[in-house]
Structure 1
């Protein structure tokens, strides 16, 4: 019993010693709940992402590193003022595209309007006007069928089905209204340089006569003599003489009964008297504002380089500038009518005396001889060039088959021969 009691007291004393060795509450003071002066990092993070921080933030992004709006709310992070440069580029692009569309439509309307203004004459003179269907009267005529776009400033039309005329081709070339930048550059350059013509709207009508090659079902014969004759507005006379080979062979003169602004370019006075029939002579006097050229020719526009190009190909050409809106449409119709009927007048009357044709033929024969000489000279130069190339190839092949000593001897002989030839040339000149 005494042993049990003694053991109990020993155990009690050991627990007491352990309890006295354990740390007190003061020892854990630094690990106690955080003080109000130092908030917990976790609490601070939770507070930073609360909804209140989104609403109360005055900076674009609120708390650094965190967005202030949803990812799709771009308008919250950007404004239109950031895209000023892009806006100006877009505005300029819209202006250019808008002007292009306006210019293209404007040119199309001008071409259609011109063709519609002469439609009464075309439908009266030709069985078919346009590319799709014949037009026997004005009610059947459709501008859409009569004009075709080549580009935004070039348009063409076609008419056929008439005695003495195989076809008539009309080319309408307008200003670059569809390209405002190029149009402006052309206007500026033409203003400062006389060599550059002022941009303008031009119409060129070309008649291809049958010239005796009518189909068998057509009655009559449209063949007439070869010659070159033209009525020219004097403000463009120099240009035509420089640009057209056929007109460079004619003489220029004023004509009795014609106004001062018109000049006649032809090969004979008798030819000019025949071409200026009454209807044509009367109407051209009133067309100063838009008439540029009325030409009857059998020679090419460009200077020929081969004999085939010098072969007679008869054409009758009318070139005008686009008449202003104040021009009487009837005047334009009268001019086009006289131009078309000139073919009938030539087929009936352009058969000249041998004395008149002798000079016309002499001019063409002289041009043929000049062309033949030019072709022979070109051919001679080509032959000489080929011969020189062949000699050089033979010489090089011969040198490759020689030894070094033989090559030296061969080159020395060549040098001596060249010196002798040079001395002979000097003695001949002396």
Structure 2
């Protein structure tokens, strides 16, 4: 019995060994090539390798060959790689160069203009420029570096004082935006296509503030004169200045004997025009068509007043001229001298009859009434808004303390009142 069992065990072990040998043979079939399939030829192997290489991504551009030190950037890169950056750099350099040119050009125009009027200023005023020690300019030449102040590349100012009847004279030179090429070209382009936009120009505004009697204790003569508005305006720009300046809107326009056709007189009364216009001024403006924009004697603000305090008279005499960028106008010194001496003429003769002053005063009072009416309407509107707001708050408080039924009755009564008011309005219409 034991031998039979042992024989059975040995037989099972023999079967297992044979099955394992068969499985190894199966794996061997896959591992070793079949004798029926010949090995690949060398040509086909090369072709397959080329096919695999062509299928893989290939680097573009020339191969990088660099054997130098790490800091030798010129050997690793070329200028062709920075073409776009080069264009940007050239553009920035061009804008910067234009800015420097425009700034210097504006500075040169301002200095040339000051050099043109400087002899007249030194002749008419004791002090010219911004002198911290208030030294008079007697016997010395006042230069632009001393007397001309640059606020920014578009604006230069100068100052003069020390003269009878004149508290001070302030000159503002405003120039084109030459330092900004994009804005400069844009302004000229828009002015070319649109008539409503004025062409950019270089101009100077000279403003004289008279003493107007404040120096009466210093001398025997009085510098006080009556309040009025009078102007000489170039007809090419008359419409623009009448719309832009509130004081000129109070005047009437007329031609004047002895003046060229391109000039118009704007005055509140003919008697005022006959008194203000001097022979020296007539002769000075004859050849100034290219530079003169306006000469104004005024006591009213430039912008339309919004309060009664702004309507208080503030006398000043203003001259605005264009500045040619190529040559200095030869007629400007004569015009400036007549403009300055006009203040002496006003202090001497600008004292009008009561009838003339009543007309001038009536215009001022009408404007003051219009302004007061506007102010009263604005105040009444504010009060009405405040009352409406108070009523709304009180109504919300009432509704908040009512029940739903009471609220419904309250809202129905409101609707009935509104319907009744609407019917009354329709009946009145």
Q: TM class by shorter-chain length?
A: 0.7 to 0.9
Pick from 57, 64, 88 the counterpart of residue 61 of structure 1: 64
Q: Indicate the residue corresponding to 2:197 in structure 1.
A: 196
Does the 8 Å CA contact 1:124/1:137 hold for their aligned counterparts? Answer: no
Task: Render the CA deviation track for 1:240-266: whole Å, top value 9, x for unaligned.
Answer: 111111111111111001110011000
Q: Indicate the residue corresponding to 2:104 in structure 1.
A: 105
Aligned partners of 2:396 and 2:206: how far apart in 1? Answer: 60
Q: Indicate the residue corresponding to 1:317 in structure 2.
A: 318
Q: Indicate the residue corresponding to 1:142 in structure 2.
A: 143
Task: Render the CA deviation track for 1:88-112: whole Å, top value 9, x for unaligned.
Answer: 1111101100110111111112112
Q: Indicate the residue corresponding to 1:41 in structure 2.
A: none
Aligned partners of 2:90 and 2:374: how far apart in 1? Answer: 59
Once the two structures are TM-superposed, the CA of residue 326 in structure 1 deviates from its matched residue by 4.4
Aligned partners of 1:70 and 1:138: how far apart in 2? Answer: 71
Task: Render the CA deviation track for 1:347-372: whole Å, top value 9, x for unaligned.
Answer: 00000111221211111111111111
Give matches, 1:196-235, under 5 Å: 196-214=197-215, 216-235=217-236
Aligned partners of 1:138 and 1:202: how far apart in 2? Answer: 30
SS in 2 for 1:118: helix
Does the 8 Å CA contact 1:60/1:77 hold for their aligned counterparts? Answer: no
Q: Indicate the residue corresponding to 1:122 in structure 2.
A: 121
Does the 8 Å CA contact 1:119/1:138 hold for their aligned counterparts? Answer: no
Task: Render the CA deviation track for 1:308-365: whole Å, top value 9, x for unaligned.
Answer: 1111111100001004644553x21111111011100000000011122121111111
Once the two structures are TM-superposed, the CA of residue 203 in structure 1 deviates from its matched residue by 0.5
Aligned partners of 1:130 and 1:222: how far apart in 2? Answer: 24
SS in 2 for 1:150: strand
SS in 1 for 2:394: helix
Structure 1 residues 91 and 265 mapped into 2: Cα distance closer, same or farther (>3 Å)? same
Q: Indicate the residue corresponding to 1:301 in structure 2.
A: 302
Q: Indicate the residue corresponding to 2:78 in structure 1.
A: 79
SS in 1 for 2:152: coil
Aligned partners of 1:267 and 1:117: how far apart in 2? Answer: 34
Q: Indicate the residue corresponding to 1:96 in structure 2.
A: 95
Normalising to structure 1: TM-score of the pair? 0.82
Moved more, 74-83 or 336-345: 74-83
Does the 8 Å CA contact 1:135/1:141 hold for their aligned counterparts? Answer: no
Aligned partners of 1:120 and 1:405: how far apart in 2? Answer: 91
Aligned partners of 1:323 and 1:414: how far apart in 2? Answer: 72
Aligned partners of 1:384 and 1:263: how far apart in 2? Answer: 48
Task: Render the CA deviation track for 1:259-316: whole Å, top value 9, x for unaligned.
Answer: 1001100011111111111111111111111011000011111111110111111110
Are 2:337 and 1:337 equivalent residues in the alignment? yes
Are 2:250 and 1:249 equivalent residues in the alignment? yes
SS in 1 for 2:160: strand
Root-mean-square deviation (CA), in Å? 1.6
Which blocks of at least 5 consecutive residues in structure 1 are unaligned?
Answer: 1-58
Give matches, 1:251-270, under 5 Å: 251-270=252-271
Give matches, 1:122-201, under 5 Å: 122-132=121-131, 133-137=134-138, 139-201=140-202
Aligned partners of 2:216 and 2:356: how far apart in 1? Answer: 30
Which blocks of at least 5 consecutive residues in structure 2 are unaligned?
Answer: 1-61
Once the two structures are TM-superposed, the CA of residue 394 in structure 1 deviates from its matched residue by 1.3
Once the two structures are TM-superposed, the CA of residue 235 in structure 1 deviates from its matched residue by 0.2
Aligned partners of 1:279 and 1:404: how far apart in 2? Answer: 88
Q: Which aligned segments of 4 or more residues in structure 1 are displaced greater than 6 angstroms? A: none
Does the 8 Å CA contact 1:163/1:218 hold for their aligned counterparts? Answer: no
Once the two structures are TM-superposed, the CA of residue 217 in structure 1 deviates from its matched residue by 3.1
Once the two structures are TM-superposed, the CA of residue 134 in structure 1 deviates from its matched residue by 3.5
Does the 8 Å CA contact 1:252/1:265 hold for their aligned counterparts? Answer: yes
Moved more, 110-119 or 195-204: 110-119
Aligned partners of 1:404 and 1:251: how far apart in 2? Answer: 69
Q: How many residues in Structure 1 have an aligned counterpart in Structure 2?
A: 366
Q: Indicate the residue corresponding to 1:412 in structure 2.
A: 412
Structure 1 residues 178 and 219 mapped into 2: Cα distance closer, same or farther (>3 Å)? farther
Does the 8 Å CA contact 1:171/1:203 hold for their aligned counterparts? Answer: yes
